[in-house]
Every structure is written in structure tokens, then in C-alpha cells.
Amino acid sequence: MKSVGGVKAEKQGVLKPVVFTNGRAQPLAFFVRGVDSLDEFRGLVPKPKPSQGVWTKDKGWTQDEMSPAYIDSMRVYLQMRWDWQTIKTLEPSNIEWERVRLHEPKTWKHVHEELRETLSENEYILVMEKVEEANTLNKDMLEENRETFFREREAQQRAATSQSGEVESTQSGEPAPA
């Protein structure tokens, strides 16, 4: 998609950073950017499939998505996805990880350990909240964006109408008093 309603479609930018100074010689600034695609993750970690099947009268042979082995493998998969998403979301911060390597899935589990080794518990929670915020559609933010969009659109329409020399109309459709 190149544009929406004539507006160039761009990926989400970097959100305001979380900055910690508490007794540190240099402040730590954590920048976040939401992950807009899981394709890279899916290329590194394939989604598990149930290895067992069950026979039912109405469906015949189907995969057993309630098998304990499949549920366990999905838990591991979803944890790996969250760890990868955390690493990718924090990429704008240019963190030098000691044990985490972006293209080595077995190392992702260390992301939270490394953050906790550096940050206080409260700082860690704030960073993780920022990671979640960057990757979540917030109802209040969507409503604010919608209101801003319509305000700006209305202002543009008013400016275009006043520049063209046309008489503005009232809501009833009748010309506004001059």
C-alpha cells in the first residue's frame, strides 16, 4: 500500500523514549518502535503443528490442538515470539546485548534477564510497558487520532473554500452570512 486517501502510508515511527538517570553517570534512554511484521520471526521460528490427530464422526481425521505436547510447544513458540518482539521493539535503542543475538532464537530467552540485570524492577516494568504500548492498538489513542484527523481535514476544507472565493455554507446548506 502506497497511500491511504492520498496520504503516503508510512510505518510507525519511534515513540518518546523512557530515560533513566538515577545515580548513573550517563542517562539510559530506551527508544521503542512497534513491530509491523512478524515475517522475520516466522522465517526464524516456524509455528508448531499438532503431531497427533483424532478421529471424530462429524469431522473425520483432524489435528488434535488440545494435546498437551502441542499446547506446550505453542507456549514455547509464543514466549519466543514475545522475546523476539521485545528485542525488535528496542532496536532503536542500539542496545549492546551480551547474550542475545537477533538471528539466534535460542538466545532470545536472555532478553529479560539482561534488562533486569541492568535496571531496577520499576525501570524494567516501565520499559516493558513502553514495549507493549508500541505494539498495541490503544483505544484512547485511536480515538484521539481520529478526532485530530477530522479536525485537520475540516480546517483544510475551510482553507480551500476560503481560498477559492466560494461562500461557505452552514449545516443547513444555505450560504453563510457574509
Q: What is the pLDDT of residues 61-101, one digit of tens each?
A: 667 677 788 889 999 999 999 999 999 999 999 999 999 99
Residue 37's closest CA among 12, 3, 17?
12
Least confident residue range of 20-34, 91-105, 147-161? 147-161
Contact 102, 87 (CB under 8 A): yes
Please, which residues have CB within 8 angstroms of residue 84's CB and are 6 or more apart in sequence? 41, 44, 45, 102, 105, 108
Per-domain residue ranges for the chain?
12-159
Mean residue pLDDT of the chain comes to 83
User: For residues 156 and 20, which has the higher predicted lDDT (pLDDT)?
Assistant: 20
